[in-house]
A = this chain, B = another copy of it.
Amino acid sequence: MAAHDHGDEPHQHGSELSETQLRVRALETVLSEKGYIDPAALDVIVDYYETKVGPRNGAKVVAKAWRDPAFKEALLADATKAVGTLGHVSRVGDHLVAVENTPKRHNMVVCTLCSCYPWEILGLPPTWYKSAPYRSRAVKDPRGVLADFGVTLPMDTEIRVWDSTAETRFLVLPMRSAGTDGWSEEKLAELVTRDSMIGTGLPKNPSEIR
């Protein structure tokens, strides 16, 4: 886990984790015995996040926006409503906002205060998104952060960082990869990486998926 990776403290992963495991087991037992939670429902929730929701949901939305100008317009106007029209993607709650990358402007999303992230459309956030290096640097040195991801943007591209300090959640609509004229939504979706929808990456090129 990234928070442990600074390497400056003598953490003992083994014993710490098993202590945490025991605490979590105790929590679940007590909350169940109190009647607050249903372990069977927990199983389904875990399965949902492990297998049902993830960046593929967002990729489908992006691919559709790339092919369908009316959908793209609707998405940028009200992402919650637009995504709600796609039955095959999950229903999303209010406050989803899609922000469009253009040749002039690149968007990047962070949550400096905790780790807010558009779970419903991208699944659970990766560890780096929740880490102190990302949370601290994204708002101050976004080009440096992009360099950590191997991404270099033109020096005159405006970079817009969105700090998710409230319940609004941001989905970056990356620029469509070149050389994809006529591609199907399914094929386009394969180009759309998770990081490209956070703004720390770019979509793949056609050559990268062949």
List chain A positions with a Cβ less than 8 A from chain B.
9-10, 12, 16
- A193, chain B: closest CB distance, angstroms: 37
- A18, chain B: closest CB distance, angstroms: 13
CA distance A186 to B202 in the complex (A): 76
- A137, chain B: closest CB distance, angstroms: 22
Q: Report which residue of A9, A10, A12, A16 has the largest number of chain B beta carbons within 10 angstroms of its beta carbon.
A: A10
- A3, chain B: closest CB distance, angstroms: 13
- Chain B residues within 8 Å of A9, by CB: 9
Nearest residue (CB) in B for A19 is: B10
Nearest residue (CB) in B for A16 is: B10
Nearest residue (CB) in B for A12 is: B10
CA distance A16 to B10 in the complex (A): 9
CA distance A12 to B15 in the complex (A): 14
- Chain B residues within 8 Å of A16, by CB: 10
CA distance A9 to B9 in the complex (A): 10
CA distance A89 to B10 in the complex (A): 45
CA distance A10 to B19 in the complex (A): 12
- Chain B residues within 8 Å of A12, by CB: 10
Q: What are 3 pairs between A and B in contact, CB < 8 Å?
A: A9-B9, A10-B12, A10-B16
- A2, chain B: closest CB distance, angstroms: 17
CA distance A12 to B9 in the complex (A): 11
- A20, chain B: closest CB distance, angstroms: 12
CA distance A16 to B12 in the complex (A): 14
CA distance A16 to B8 in the complex (A): 13
- A22, chain B: closest CB distance, angstroms: 15
